[in-house]
Copies of this chain bind each other. A is one copy, B any other.
Amino acid sequence: MKNIKLTIEYDGTSFCGWQNQPRGRTVQNEIEKALSILLKKKVKIYGAGRTDSGVHALGQVANFKEKIAIPTGKIPLALNGLLPEDIVIKSAEEMDPSFHARYSAVGKKYIYKINNTKFRKPLLRNYAYLVPYELDLEKMMTASKYFIGEHDFKGFMASGSSVKNTVRTIYSFDVCMIDNMIIIETRGNGFLYNMVRIMVGTLVDVGRNKIKAHELPLIIGSGIREKAKHTAKAQGLYLAEVYYD
């Protein structure tokens, strides 16, 4: 029995997210189908985290435990031949029996892209969040630094989530602009449901001068969802990396 860690890239556009669902195409299901063909038996995989419909991944991680005859290094090529074009297995590694993609994870990196042009960009419609208003980047950068550190992010979680402990540590939160694309990169020990998208939505409101940068600590401290404005679109979000010890 081997415990195999897969690193996965996918375009979330045509998926109803990562996690298996009664209906709708999911990334998990496509990979389980491919593995089941390869291993000639039903295989279940465990993902590091769910991604919503439309959210992309550059470095999602999953693991599965099975007797497998193929050398670990050959698994990506074998699976990629069975997988659809919008998913690719980037690597496979044999891990300790105790490794679990979700429970062993110690942190994650997300990237978020905002397309800040007046007219929509057809080629970016599924890959960035269109904000056709003038944004004050300096203010967004200033505000973003307040996210860094250990905070109770209760107000930055989508309602309906059942998570009890809403304290998370953000290690970095960087905002830069290349041409008309604002690229946000954040690393933390964990993220609540929709947390990155609510953080970005709040920063966009800072950029539009609806919220002042120095109000961010108050908004975070309040723990009230309504203080942390809108949820930025799924299409701009990329799960970039999952960290393990």
Contact partners of A119 in chain B: CB under 8 A: 76, 80, 88-90
CA distance A125 to B80 in the complex (A): 14
CA distance A122 to B87 in the complex (A): 6
Q: Does A86 contact B (CB under 8 A)?
A: yes
Considering only residues 90-116 of chain A, those with a C-beta below 8 Å from chain B are 90
Q: Chain A contact residues: over half helix, strand or loop, or mixed?
A: mixed
Given A119-B76, A119-B80, A11 contacting B125 (CB threshold 8 A): yes
- A16 shortest CB reach to chain B, Å: 16
- A88 shortest CB reach to chain B, Å: 5
Contact partners of A156 in chain B: CB under 8 A: none
- A102 shortest CB reach to chain B, Å: 22
List 10 contacting pairs A-B, 8 Å CB cutoff, sorted by A.
Answer: A10-B122, A11-B122, A11-B125, A56-B123, A76-B119, A80-B120, A85-B120, A87-B122, A89-B119, A90-B119
Known: A85-B122, A88-B122. 12 other contacts (CB 8 A): A9-B121, A9-B122, A9-B123, A11-B122, A56-B123, A58-B123, A86-B122, A87-B122, A88-B119, A88-B120, A88-B121, A90-B119
